[in-house]
Chains A and B, each alone.
Chain A
């Protein structure tokens, strides 16, 4: 079964450092997403991406965040200057269309110390 792959599975970083989280969506999917889940809380939408541009972003996705699809297969989330409150599980997802469900990757656990 096709899957969404995320690396690394766990990243520890110091406050103020930049981190890049990487994702390889399912190859024939056209829509890509990042979500996050703070421990014990709900899954929250960050950003959606289609046709090489951001379709929509939430209020969480401020100027510290950026996304990129640099080479047609990878989809990355960059956090420029991490804060303690950025500690969370970050999930990448992809979908073939706008009406079906999404397939999620296994996530990157980001710990900011």
Chain B
């Protein structure tokens, strides 16, 4: 089983739509969780950390379910500028972050 697994997509959605991405991780001892965003041929950029209680940052909401080892990201009111690859990232205590393969989002006008 992959350490961090994501649906590669692509998710093609119209502007204004709500879209949700899911991610599962294999190591139950994982301690920290993040969503990163990566534009084509650019570096990953931290979008938000993910906390057990769930957290929101503007149009973005992240949820963590430790029992199911599942992380989600919800984007409301999608903008064209949200088009990117979204990376689920887990710190499994190995002193380094482990990246999923990413889910590609394309927001269409």
Contacts of B31 in A (CB 8 A): 99
Contacts of B57 in A (CB 8 A): none
Contacts of A102 in B (CB 8 A): 46, 97
Stretch at the interface among A13-21, A70-78, A103-111: A103-111
Q: A43-B87, A100-B32 are in contact. Are A91 and B44 (CB under 8 A)?
A: yes
Contacts of A89 in B (CB 8 A): 41
Q: Which of A44, A98, A107 contacts B95 (CB 8 A)?
A: A98
Report the separation of the CA atoms of residues A44 and B101 in the bound assembly, to the nearest whole angstrom: 10
Per-residue CB contact flags for chain B residues 19-63 toward chain A (1 = under 8 Å, else 0) read 000000000000110101010011111100100000000000000
B43 and A107 contact, CB distance less than 8 A: yes
Q: Which of A43, A44, A56, A91 contacts B94 (CB 8 A)?
A: A56
Which residues of A does B touch, CB under 8 Å? 31, 33, 35, 41-45, 48, 50, 55-56, 58, 89, 91, 98-107, 109
Contacts of A43 in B (CB 8 A): 38, 44, 87, 99
Contacts of B45 in A (CB 8 A): 104
A104 and B44 contact, CB distance less than 8 A: yes
Among residues of A, the one whose C-beta sits closest to the C-beta of B49 is: A101
User: What are 30 contact pairs spanning A and B, CB under 8 A?
Assistant: A31-B95, A35-B99, A41-B101, A42-B99, A42-B102, A43-B38, A43-B44, A43-B87, A45-B96, A45-B98, A45-B99, A56-B95, A56-B96, A91-B43, A98-B91, A98-B95, A99-B31, A99-B32, A99-B91, A100-B32, A101-B32, A101-B34, A101-B46, A101-B97, A102-B46, A102-B97, A104-B44, A104-B45, A106-B42, A107-B42
